[in-house]
Amino acid sequence: MSLYNDRGVSAQKEEVHEAIKKLDTGLYPKAFCKMYPDYLGGDDRFVNIMHADGAGTKSILAYLYWKETGDVSVWKGIAQDAIIMNLDDLLCVGVYDHLVFNSTIDRNKKRIPGEVLEQVINGSQELFDGLKNYGIHIQYLGGETADVGDVVRTIAVNGTMTSRWPKQKLITNEKIQAGDVIVGFASFGKCQYEPDYNSGLGSNGLTSARHDILSKYYAEKYPETFEPALDEKVVYIGQYKMTDAIEAGGFSTNIGKLLLSPTRTYAPVLKVLLEQHFDAIHGLIHCSGGGQTKCMKYVPGNVRIVKDNLFVPPVVFELIQQAGKADDREMYQVFNMGCRMEVYTPPAHAHSIIQAAAQFGIEAQVIGRVEASEKQELVIKTKEAEIRW
């Protein structure tokens, strides 16, 4: 993890977890999102949930691509990233409808003009309009847009999503047990509701991806895109430019678009599963920050998670690993590696879940299983190694 740490970021957010360790964990400590009693409605049959997330440093990639190509529409993808990182976390506790969203945009006005804000804001509404076609209703309540050039170098795009949801429809991960299998949903490809090939990168690990893949050219031309206190040995150490052509998944694209693929949402397929197969879902894990090790925070303490049939990682992760010379342990701890959603279910239901995903053009397969254990463990098996946590 040396390069990742040297760049001032942490895949496991150890300091964040230390800072919040004394906070109330909510009604369901193993649930993917924190939930509280229904303060809004005063009904003990409901819970309140408010979640916060954002596009992270992916906005810097959008900035570079826009500056290099003039394509301002790339910012719509950043809007999607900020929204889906909230929505897909909420999906993991069973929430898929009747949501409200507020955006928080901090910009450096000297570098980010109004046309960029327009793309982010309009892109948000376009995504919400598209999700309505699948029965997912999210009300956009606006939010805060602040000019804080003394705080941010370019732009930070974040948001909060809120729901009031019935307890009887919650997924709390408490049912995850030995004997369950794990059905994984691919983060890459081109599903029914995506206009272009999706690299599968999502919105995590972008600091590493950006500096490992892109060339020193960007450090020299756009010094506003990185922390000046960083050692130059870890800043833009790759060989590529944003516009370099590349083949991925049978599609012709370029490096910039590969890195900027908007984060895929699983809301349409999970809505179907949560409505038609609710009792079969013992747990849901969104492999976001922490990559394939994310599950360790949310599964019971007396199980071993074995992932021995993960997807072959798509090309974007091969590029990152080759450029950064990272070992498999680091890669699987930082990135989703092509699988960003896990469904924990009894074996008899795996086929139905896989078929539901296939109807939307999303590749899915049994990627592993849950075993009894005296302590919590995670085992990931690749072609080259067996990695344990």
pLDDT digits (tens, 9 = 90+) for 12-35: 556 655 665 666 778 999 999 999
Per the rule left: phi > 0, alpha: psi between -120 and 50, beta: everything else, 332 is alpha
pLDDT of res. 13: 54
**Which is nearest to 90 in space by CA: 286, 334, 349?**
286
Close Cβ partners of 143 (under 8 Å, ≥ 6 residues apart) = 102, 103, 104, 105, 159
The class (CATH top level) of 2-196+261-388 is alpha beta
**CA–CA distance from 386 to each of 306, 307, 329 (Å)?**
10, 10, 9
pTM above 0.85, yes or no: yes
What percentage of the chain carries pLDDT values higher than 70? 94
Average pLDDT over residues 113-136: 97
In this predicted structure, the answer to whether residue 80 has a pLDDT above a threshold of 70 is yes
The tens digit of pLDDT for each residue in 356-366 reads 999 999 999 99
Residue extents of the structural domains in the chain = 2-196+261-388
